[in-house]
A and B are shown apart, each in its own frame.
Chain A
Amino acid sequence: MGAQLRAVRRRIATVKSTAKITKAQELIASSRIIKAQQRARAAEPYAREITAAVEAVVSRSSNVNHPLTTEPENPTRAAVLILTSDRGFCGGYNAQVLREAQALTAALAGRGVEVMPFVSGRKGIGWHRFRDKPMAGEWAGYSDTPRHHNASEIASALLDAFRRPAHEGGVDELHIVYTEFVSMLTQRPVIHRLLPLQIVEATERAPGPIPVYDFEPSPERVLDELLPWYIESRIFQALLDAAAAEIAARRRAMKSATDNANELLEKLTRDANKARQAEITQEISEIVGGANALADAGRS
C-alpha cells in the first residue's frame, strides 16, 4: 500500500472516531435538554409566588426603606456574578457570556465603579485564573443540573458582600451575567442588575389591583425575610436557565461538529479512492512497461 493511501486511511479512521464521539455527545445533550427545561418549568411557580409576595409588600408601603432597595449615592464597587459552564464542547457559550461580562466590567469601570467578579462554572474560573484576574468568589461542579442549595450558597455570599460597608470590601451593586435560553437554536447572554432591587413585573399575574395585605408579624420583618429569598430565587432561575442554554448550545455545537466530520469523511473517502486508483494505474503501467521491455530484449 502506498504511503499516501495509508495516510488518508489513517485520517479517515480519526475523523470517524471523532464523529462517533460528537454524535454521542449530541444525543446525550438532546436527552438532557428536556430534563433541564422541565426543571426550569418546575421552578416557575415558586419564582412567580415569591415575586408576587415582594410586589405585595413593596406596593403596600410606597416608601420602602430597606438596605436592599436603596440606591447608593455614588457606587464605588459592584459585584458581577458570571454563570459559565463546567465543561466545554458547547460552542461559543462561555466565550459569549464572558465577553458580555467584560463589556459590563468596562462599562462599570467607565463610571468609576470597581468590579469584583464572582464566578460560577469551571470554564469561567479557568478563564479568570489564566488571566490572573482575582475572583471574589467561585463555585463549580453543578452547571448542568443546578440545585437550589447551590443558589443559596451563591446568594448568601453575595448578600454578605452587599451588606458589608464599602471600606470593608462590600459592594454597592450586584449584577448577574448569564445565558438565557430562548429556544433550542438561540441562546442569548443577558445582564441583569439584582441589587439594589428592581422589582421585575411578573409576566403573568392576576388581573385587578394588588390586594391590601395584613402582615404577620410586620411589613418590615416580612420584607427582611423575603428579599434574600427573592434574590436567591432569581439566582436559582438564572442557574436553571443557564443550564438549559448550556445543554442546548452543546447539542448544537456537537451537531455541527458531527455534520462537519461527515462532510470531511466524504471528501477523504474520495481522496482515498483516488489514491488507490492511482496506485493501481501505476502498477499496471509498470507491469506493461516491464513486459514490453522483456519482449524487446527477447526480439533483439
Chain B
Amino acid sequence: MTLQVRLVVPEGEIWAGAADRLVAKTLDGEIGILSSHTPVLGILAAGSVVRILPQEPTAGGGWLQAAVGSGFLSVAADRVSILARDAVLGSHVDRAAVRAELEVAMGEADGQATRADYLRAQLRAAGEEA
C-alpha cells in the first residue's frame, strides 16, 4: 500500500502522486505519515517544509520538498491532502529572488513575520540553510 498525496493551493494542484512516506510539521510538532496511518486533521506550522518520499524516483533522487505558507494536513485511508494558501516545490524556488525578498521582509520588522517564515521555508525546501 502506498499513500496518495495531493498538495493543493486555491488556484490549482502543486503536486499529486503516489508516495511511500511523508513528513510534515503541525502545530503539535513533526508528524511522519506512513501507509495505514490513523486519520488526522492538523494545522500545519506556518512557514514549514513538507517532505514527501515519492514512489517514483525523482530527478534529484530521494525526497521531494515543498515550502508551505500556512495550511492544513488531512490524512484518511491512505489519502493525504495538504491544503495550503501558498506552497511551492523546492525545485521551483528562485533562490536569488526569494533571498532578496527575505531581506526586505526582515527589514520591515513588524507584520511581515509570517511572510519571512514562508520565504525561509522556501529556501529550506530548496536545500539551503535559512
Alpha-carbon distance between A148 and B11 when the two chains are bound, in angstroms: 7
Q: B42, A236: Cβ atoms under 8 Å?
A: no
Residue from A42, A53, A217 in contact with B13 in the complex, judged by beta carbons closer than 8 Å: A42
Given contacts A53-B83, A211-B76, A213-B76, contact A43 B12 (CB under 8 A): yes
Q: Enumerate chain B residues within 8 angstroms of A211, measured Cβ to Cβ.
A: 39, 76-77
Report the contact-size class of chain A (Cβ under 8 Å from the partner): 20 to 34
Q: B42, A49: Cβ atoms under 8 Å?
A: no
In the complex, chain A residues 43-67 whose Cβ is within 8 Å of any chain B Cβ? 43, 45-46, 49-50, 52-53, 56-57
In the complex, chain B residues 1-54 whose Cβ is within 8 Å of any chain A Cβ? 6, 8-13, 26-28, 31, 38-43
User: Do most interface residues of chain A lie in helix, strand or loop, or is the interface mixed?
Assistant: helix
Please choose the segment from A71-79, A113-121, A221-229, A255-263 that sits at the chain B interface, where 4 or more of its residues have CB less than 8 A away. A221-229
Q: Enumerate chain A residues within 8 angstroms of B39, measured Cβ to Cβ.
A: 56, 211-214
Residue from B26, B27, B74 in contact with A49 in the complex, judged by beta carbons closer than 8 Å: B74
Q: Does A39 contact B (CB under 8 A)?
A: yes
Q: Enumerate chain A residues within 8 angstroms of B85, measured Cβ to Cβ.
A: 148, 229
Residue from B9, B10, B74 in contact with A56 in the complex, judged by beta carbons closer than 8 Å: B74
Q: A217, B28: Cβ atoms under 8 Å?
A: yes
CB distance from B13 to the nearest CB of A (A): 5
Number of interface residues of B (CB under 8 A): 25
Given contacts A211-B76, A211-B77, contact A233 B40 (CB under 8 A): no
Alpha-carbon distance between A225 and B28 when the two chains are bound, in angstroms: 15
Q: Enumerate chain A residues within 8 angstroms of B9, measured Cβ to Cβ.
A: 46, 148
Q: Enumerate chain A residues within 8 angstroms of B10, measured Cβ to Cβ.
A: 43, 46, 148, 151, 232-233, 236
Given contacts A49-B81, A49-B83, contact A213 B72 (CB under 8 A): no
CB distance from B6 to the nearest CB of A (A): 6
Q: A56, B83: Cβ atoms under 8 Å?
A: no
Residues 182-217 of chain A, each 1 if its beta carbon lies under 8 Å from chain B, else 0: 000000000000000000000000100001111111
* Given A43-B11, A53-B83, A215-B42; 19 other pairs, CB 8 A cutoff: A42-B12, A43-B10, A45-B13, A46-B12, A46-B83, A49-B74, A49-B81, A53-B81, A56-B41, A148-B10, A151-B10, A211-B77, A212-B39, A213-B41, A214-B40, A215-B41, A216-B28, A216-B40, A222-B43
